[in-house]
Amino acid sequence: MAKKILILVELLAIAAGLWAIFKIVTNTEAAVGFVTISFGVLAVIWTVMAVKSLSPGSALRKYVTNFLLCLVFILLFSIWHTLSIIFGWRTTLKEAWLYPGYLFITIAFLIFVATSYQVLMMGREFGFRQQAESIKKVIEEKKKAKKKK
């Protein structure tokens, strides 16, 4: 029961925070940017905690660290984009000020691509697919055996 109350309080706090952001920041696009940044910061914090909880040198820690790098660059993109809205870089300065944001998101996607390739190679090396298919067959045989009884 206490856990349900805690979840309810957390949801109310999130709703109140969102309401406050949209009430204080009149520009909707900037308000969405602040919400995005706040969730991005939370994601980075939780991912840092996850990295610290994993064994040093493990493959999983390496992949989560790469995920963290992607999150950081996506967060940098969100910050840069929100700043461009607040300061009106699209209209007051040359569009060149928008390019660092594009660089941040491009780097994030490149890290995602490299990490995805590493996971693909690991899957091929260890052959998880074949093991999953054989486990599925065993489960189906057990289900059929139970139905016959």
What are the sequence ranges of the domains in the chain?
A: 2-148
Confidence of residue 14 (pLDDT cuts 50, 70, 90): confident
pLDDT in tens, 16-67: 877 887 778 778 888 888 889 988 999 999 999 999 999 998 888 898 999 9
Residue 145 CA, distance from chain mean position: 42
pLDDT recorded at residue 60: 85
Yes or no: say if 78 and 37 are a contact pair by the CB < 8 Å rule: yes
Helix locations, the chain, DSSP H: 2-24, 28-53, 59-86, 89-92, 99-126, 128-148
Per the model's pLDDT, the better-predicted residue between 143 and 61 turns out to be: 61
Yes or no: say if 115 and 123 are a contact pair by the CB < 8 Å rule: no
Is pLDDT above 80 for 133?
no
Q: Against a cut of 0.75, is the pTM above it?
A: no
Output the CA torsion sign for 136, 140, 141, 146: positive
In percent, the amount of the chain with pLDDT more than 90 equals 33
Is pLDDT above 70 for 149?
no
